[in-house]
Amino acid sequence: MIEVGKTNSALQILSLLLVFLIHCQASTHYNWVVKGATYTRLCSTKKILTVNGKFPGPVLQAHKGDTIYVNVHNKGSHNITIHCFCNFVARHGVKQPRNPWSDGPEHITQCPIQPGDQFKQTIIFSNEEGTIWWHAHNDWARATVHGSIFVYPKRGASYPFPKPHEQVQIILGQWWRRDVREVLEEFIRTGGAPNVSDAHTINGQPGDLYPCSKSETFKLLVDQNKTYLLLIVNAAMNTIFFYSIANHNLTVVGVDGSYTKPVTTDYMTISQTIDAVSITNQQVGQYYMAARAYSSTLLIPFDNTTTTAIVEYKKIGNNFTPFSSTPPLPHLPYYNDTNAAFTFYDNLKSLANEHHPIDVPIKITNRLDPLNYNLIDPPLRNTVAVPISGWAAIRFHANNQGVWFLHCHLEHHLTWGMNTVFIVKDGKNKKERLLPPPPRMPTC
């Protein structure tokens, strides 16, 4: 449960986050191979680290309450850990009740998986529903080792909104022409800010506005007058995004693996994950979807480029004439439009109904201030954007035993040391104690 304070001064976002670990696909057992693969972007080719050779990585699917198992084989040349977005303070992300052994932060809850080794991770879903994601959690490997997790309603249950015609994965990311390990090593060596990325991406592709990218731009083919559920992940290393689709509204129905009251908007501010419905009610044609950075201050270098993809309506009848005009671009808030960024955040509210209740802690053990808070339907989040000179208030029950990593999810801030851990001790009864560790944990 989160409240965020704002100031009118120039802001720099600290994207705080409570995280977790790995994920897998739709059945029960999955095999992932971490290995190098060659990819070409922005007129140049390099080798990147991937899962199963895919960038972005495989989609993981489950139903509410499932338990799945992922066997991760490290065939790369460096240590790896895989982590999936969870948190112990709210029932969303992948909470992993009493199971920190598969959380993933390197040297926090496990030693990394060394080259040639493997580790079977157990992912326990509880109250999560909607879109979350998984990623590598050592060095900067998550730049290319990441993917979506889709948690569907419990079997036999339905969405708390009309069933969409189709669902579509949208992953926002960053791309460097250089090896990302070189970027990290130079960043650590110099002690300054890291080199900004050379491009932002949508589903691994920079889009039309970058060199050598037009032919590979991601294209979403849609039918007219249908409802599409966009499952959106911000997998970028150091960026919060503004996102929009030209001439189309977006109705937010979920954030960070928890459904929300519907909010209709023409843009979104994306810190981690969002479920949004879009109705294809425009004339048959092509329309850009686009994303660019929100950076509260323009004084610090950041990637100010815009990534695009194309929403293309399927033509009706025997009309095979190519679209002649350039697709329209959506209007996006300016880079440092903090009012736009936080107006979007402030409109997000939990469903807080019989089927999707919210457990707001009322009896507070340690109260830090006397401010008034929304105790009725605050959003459940695993990430909160904290403005410079501002604040965030988080209420939680410390009821998930284990060691849980709390850190800034802007990767350069994490490298600087913006992190800590929460330790939740065992309680008195069996269900308040850690589960036993798996039989073959990685060794350091």
pLDDT at 174 over 60: yes
Q: From CA 400, how far away is CA 403, in angstroms rounded?
A: 9
Report pLDDT digits (tens) over 359-394.
888 887 777 676 788 999 999 998 899 887 888 888
Query: 353-370: string of b/e by CB count within 10 Å (b at 16+)?
Result: eeeeebebeeeeeeeeee
Whether residue 4 contacts residue 371, with contact meaning beta carbons closer than 8 Å, is answered with no
Report pLDDT digits (tens) over 213-229.
999 999 999 999 999 99
Whether residue 234 contacts residue 292, with contact meaning beta carbons closer than 8 Å, is answered with no
Asked if residue 281 belongs to a domain, the reply is yes
More confident residue, 11 or 65: 65
- The CATH number that applies at residue 152 is 2.60.40.420
**In degrees rounded to 5, what are phi and psi of residue 307?**
-95, 145
> What average pLDDT does this structure show over 328-342?
96
Asked if residue 424 belongs to a domain, the reply is no
Asked if residue 205 belongs to a domain, the reply is yes
pLDDT band at 28 (very low <50, low <70, confident <90, very high): confident
Give this prediction's pTM: 0.90
From residue 2, give the alpha-carbon distance in Å to each of 190, 349, 391: 36, 10, 10
Q: From CA 57, how far away is CA 271, in angstroms rounded?
A: 19
Closest residue by Cα to residue 356 from 133, 98, 157, 134:
157
The DSSP output letter for 305 is -
Question: Which structure tokens are listed for 352?
Answer: 């807080």
Report, in this order, helix, strand and coil percent for the chain, each rounded to 5. 10, 40, 55
Q: Which residues contact 370 (CB under 8 A, 6 or more apart)?
A: none
Whether residue 38 contacts residue 47, with contact meaning beta carbons closer than 8 Å, is answered with yes
Asked if residue 436 belongs to a domain, the reply is no
pLDDT at 22 over 50: no
The pLDDT score that the predictor gives to residue 14 is 34
The range of the structural domain enclosing residue 77 comes to 14-346
Q: From CA 405, how far away is CA 107, in angstroms rounded?
A: 11
More confident residue, 310 or 394: 310
Q: From CA 15, how far away is CA 407, in angstroms rounded?
A: 8
Q: From CA 3, how far away is CA 250, in angstroms rounded?
A: 24
> Among 49-63, 206-220, 415-429, where is mean pLDDT lowest?
415-429
Number of domains in the chain: 1
**In degrees rounded to 5, what are phi and psi of residue 365?**
-70, -45
Asked if residue 102 belongs to a domain, the reply is yes
Asked if residue 301 belongs to a domain, the reply is yes
Closest residue by Cα to residue 401 from 375, 427, 377:
427
Asked if residue 359 belongs to a domain, the reply is no
Torsion of CA 126, 127, 128, 134, to 10 degrees: -30
Q: From CA 229, how far away is CA 244, in angstroms rounded?
A: 14
Query: Could you please report the per-residue DSSP string of 79-119?
Result: -B-EEE-B-SSSS-B---TT-GGG---BTTTB--B-TT-EE
Average pLDDT, the chain: 88
Asked if residue 249 belongs to a domain, the reply is yes
